[in-house]
């Protein structure tokens, strides 16, 4: 008589915050599936719900608490993890029903808590064929986390308290993961960390063997190796660098972009330009040198796109400081810009600085900055009209009443979720997400392009 195996316990996941937290969620779910769990797409079907929180800003904490409350109301069996996990007492005070609270990237503790809440089923012995890792992003792009933590002590940030000091992954482990992702269908690798430029500093840039050669744990060496990867079809995947602090050695990756080994895109968190504000932020204050380097980078790689983020309304920021920032942005002409209104974060040194900026003034400065950067973006995108550019397909729509099909794509200047799109008309029904094609740009607006497949 056949033995019926007990049903697999199901786990639901709510993942909040940055791409680094998303990678943590993927790793947790991958481990749980190997332990015999299945995944639930809704609260009702889950035996336990994980909420991976963000604790970087007070607004993010509020969102995390709201997500915990919703999960408790809808399911009742909730485990909290992530950056807000270091505030376990506050979470338990508000939600005493929570089963367990763990901190950021504490994978073992999360898995153990799930085991206690919903004991695993038959585990890996049911399936002799290993399952692929769980991805929470579309199949054609993947985040590749190369390190955890940060050695900086920026006055507005508590990341080192939440995630610790810099801990770099072994370079051979990173490359094997990247190779596996590309073999499984990834067409775009998004390299992430708290500080990508510092990769390998904590381990002395140690070398490891990869495919019979020694590779050092250094950003430039890693980037060159990633640029040599190929898909099963022989295509070169895009490799996009995020969270790159502008240390001098960053100059060495620009020629790799000019050679076509890296996607010509750099995500650099400048945060401000005024020397006095940068000093108060405990950030490097070399804005004039940065402008010179931007010019040199564009001379080497004319197609390079620079994305950055800025904080407005930092304590002590004067109108002169803000005007300086606007002038700097006018000259820098960055391709993609995000901005944040300063928020006090519990435990951050900036909270004690004098010269708090009134909220209405923050809003006004934010609006002025976004207006300026939108104009610059519109001007830069308008210059692409009539050109043929490479794009990656993210989504293909259904035929309209005339039978025409549209598609949403991204250029090399556009990272998923945070930058613009390229909207294509009259595409073939055979087009699929993840395809790398050439597009003729026909029109442009502030942040997006419109065109047709060339």
pLDDT at 135: 67
pLDDT tens, 354-369? 889 999 999 999 999 9
Instruction: List phi, psi (to 5°) of 182.
Output: -65, -40
Q: Which pLDDT does position 131 carry in this prediction? A: 56
How many angstroms separate the CA atoms of 84 and 433, rounded?
Answer: 35
The Cα–Cα gap between 31 and 409 comes to 32
Extract the tokens encoding 176.
């094997």
Closest CA to 51 of 93, 116, 95: 95
H-type helices in 140-233, by residue range?
159-163, 171-183, 219-227
Residue spans in the chain of domains classed CATH 3.40.50.12160: 10-125
| Residues of the chain scoring pLDDT < 70 | 1-6, 105, 121-135, 284-288
Query: What pLDDT is attached to residue 286?
Result: 62
Q: Give the per-residue pLDDT at 161.
A: 78
Rounded Cα gap, residues 325 and 338, in angstroms = 14
Domain 141-382 part of CATH 3.80.30.20: yes
The reported pLDDT for the residue numbered 39 is 86
Is the CATH number of domain 388-453 2.40.50.140? Answer: yes
Q: What's the confidence (pLDDT) of residue 125? A: 44
Q: How wide is the angle at C-alpha 128 spanned by C-alphas 123 and 134, nearest 5°? A: 65
- What whole-number distance in Å separates Cα of residue 20 and Cα of residue 46? 24
8 Å CB contact between 329 and 290: no
pTM across the whole model:
0.82
* Distance between CA atoms of residues 125 and 132, nearest Å: 16
Within the chain, all domains assigned CATH 3.80.30.20 are found at 141-382
Q: Are strands 167-168 and 147-148 parallel, antiparallel or unpaired?
A: antiparallel
Domain with CATH 2.40.50.140 in the chain: 388-453
pLDDT at 1 (0 to 100): 47
Q: Does the domain formed by 10-125 have CATH 3.40.50.12160?
A: yes
Confidence (pLDDT) at 124: 46
pLDDT value, residue 284:
65
């Amino acid at each position: 008589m056949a033995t019926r195996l007990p049903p697999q316990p199901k786990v639901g996941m709510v993942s909040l915050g940055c791409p680094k937290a998303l990678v943590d969620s993927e790793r947790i779910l991958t481990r749980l599936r190997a332990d015999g769990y299945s995944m639930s797409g809704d609260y009702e079907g889950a035996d336990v719900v994980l909420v991976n929180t963000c604790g970087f800003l007070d607004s993010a904490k509020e969102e995390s608490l709201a997500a915990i409350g919703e999960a408790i109301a809808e399911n009742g069996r909730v485990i909290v993890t992530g950056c807000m996990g270091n505030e376990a007492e506050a979470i338990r005070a508000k939600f005493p029903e929570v089963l367990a609270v763990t901190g950021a990237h504490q994978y073992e503790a999360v898995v153990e808590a799930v085991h206690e809440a919903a004991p695993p089923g038959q585990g890996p012995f049911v399936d002799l064929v290993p399952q692929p890792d769980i991805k929470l992003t579309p199949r054609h792009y993947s985040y590749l986390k190369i390190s955890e933590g940060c050695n900086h002590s920026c006055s507005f940030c508590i990341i080192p308290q939440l995630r610790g000091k810099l801990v770099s992954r072994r370079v051979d482990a990173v490359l094997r993961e990247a190779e596996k992702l590309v073999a499984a269908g990834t067409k775009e690798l998004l390299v992430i960390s708290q500080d990508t430029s510092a990769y390998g500093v904590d381990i002395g840039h140690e070398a490891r063997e990869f495919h019979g050669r020694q590779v050092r744990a250094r950003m430039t060496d890693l980037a060159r190796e990633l640029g040599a990867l190929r898909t099963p079809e022989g295509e070169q995947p895009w490799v996009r660098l995020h969270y790159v602090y502008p240390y001098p050695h960053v100059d060495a990756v620009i020629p790799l972009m000019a050679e076509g080994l890296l996607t010509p895109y750099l995500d650099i968190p400048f945060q401000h330009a005024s020397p006095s504000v940068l000093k108060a932020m405990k950030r490097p204050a070399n804005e004039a040198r940065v402008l010179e380097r931007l010019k040199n980078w564009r001379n080497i790689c004319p197609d390079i796109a620079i994305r950055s983020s800025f904080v407005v309304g930092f304590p002590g920021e004067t109108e002169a400081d803000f005007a300086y920032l606007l002038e700097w942005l006018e000259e820098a002409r960055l391709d993609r810009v995000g901005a944040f209104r300063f928020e006090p974060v519990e435990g951050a040194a900036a909270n004690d600085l004098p010269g708090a900026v009134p909220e209405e003034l923050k809003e006004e400065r934010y609006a002025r900055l976004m207006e300026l950067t939108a104009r610059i973006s519109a001007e830069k995108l308008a210059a692409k009209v009539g050109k043929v550019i490479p794009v990656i397909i993210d989504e293909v729509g259904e035929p309209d009443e005339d039978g025409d099909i549209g598609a949403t794509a991204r250029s090399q200047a556009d990272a998923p979720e945070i930058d613009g799109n390229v909207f294509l008309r009259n595409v073939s029904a055979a087009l699929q997400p993840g395809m790398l094609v050439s597009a003729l740009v026909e029109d442009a607006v502030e942040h997006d392009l419109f065109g047709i497949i060339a």
